[in-house]
Structure 1
Amino acid sequence: MTTAVTRPLTVTARIDTVDAAPVDTAPAPAAYTATVYMNTAPHNFDGYQLGHPLAEATRRDGSPLRLVFHASDRIRTHEGAADAAYTVGNHQGPDDNGQTWPNDIRSVSTGDVIKVTGPDHWIVHLSVDPTGFSAVPEPTALVNLAGTRAAPRRR
């Protein structure tokens, strides 16, 4: 014996809207963020040593100065991002967001430390050496120079 079953009517409709904005589904580009810590110890240009006091470079309003570099053929590692930050920190162009190094902060030099956060969220601290960079532990002697934005210029 068979039993009749009634099914509800189903309507399928396609609705095209002209005023709907397209959705940007492209992922944000992978980026490295660099923060420069200026070495304020006497004889700091001899190189960074654990325990040297460091002052974070800041913007005019006191907010941290963060340099951003998109991962590319040019920048593929934390060291590549540190090198790009060194270049910007020596007034040789902007970061990938168009930000340049402030004129009232001394240039990035041997003895300073660059903190680089990669797209993988790994954080590496690199001291600026006479020829390249060396990985160092996270600095603990951070100072806030009252009344100034970063390490004073050397004369």
Structure 2
Amino acid sequence: MTTAVTRRPTVSARVTTPTTPTTPDLAPARGVFTATVYMNTHDDNFGGYQPGHPLAAATRPDGSPLRLVFHTSTRIRTHEAAASAAFDVGNHARADDHGQTWPSDIRPVSVGDVIKVTSPDHWILHLSVDPTGFTPVPEPATLTALTGSRATSSR
């Protein structure tokens, strides 16, 4: 014996999803990040950066500012990732994407220094080097020249 069963009507729909990511954090902008490292020249620079600490831009041997360049990629797509790459260059672990290395007469990048990162869309962020990463800080107001023993100090 069979029994007739009535089914409720159903509706089907096709849902399409984009094949490429559309959110900014998944699809990096094309271009480059640039990073300039400001060395903290305060007597207590390894205690961390504090607003008002004097900073000096890292420079090339000819005195021009050292601007590190990193092309956007799956690895470099945020200000923090570019700052981390600049930290690596500043500690002689690698070169930037244009082959620039850290000058031998400047101490390595360390806690208390500040890295200015400009993204491909021209957003600028200043990041303090902390023991476990980076913290955004206001644009430093006290810039000085990088000189003599301060340039090679490694405490």
Normalization by structure 2: what TM-score?
0.78
CA distance in 2, matches of 1:97, 1:124: 22
What CA distance in whole angstroms lies between the structure 2 residues aligned with 1:149 and 1:76?
35
Taking the aligned partners of 1:138 and 1:57, their CA distance within structure 2 comes to 16
What is the number of residues matched between the two proteins? 126
Task: Give a deviation string over 1:92-147, Cα, whole Å, max 9, x none.
Answer: 0100000000111000000000000000000000000000000000000101145x
Q: Which ranges of 4 or more aligned residues in structure 1 deviate by more than 6 Å?
A: none
SS in 2 for 1:151: helix
Offset at residue 153 of structure 1 (A): 1.6
- Larger radius of gyration between Structure 1 and Structure 2: 1
Percent of aligned positions that are identical: 69
Structure 1 unpaired stretches of 5+: 1-28
Q: CA RMSD in A?
A: 1.5
Partner AA of 2:116 in structure 1: K
1:43 to partner: Cα distance: 1.3
Letter in 2 for 1:44: N
Shift of 1:154: 2.8
Deviations 1:61-114 (A, max 9, x none): 000000000000010100000000000000001000000001110000000000
Structure 2 unaligned segments of length 5 or more: list them: 1-29
User: In structure 1, what is the Cα distance between the partners aligned to 2:95 and 2:31?
Assistant: 18
Q: Is 1:151 matched with 2:135?
A: no
- The SS at the match of 2:100 is coil
* C-alpha distance in structure 1 between counterparts of 2:61 and 2:150, whole Å: 10
- Contact kept? 1:38, 1:113, Cα under 8 Å: yes
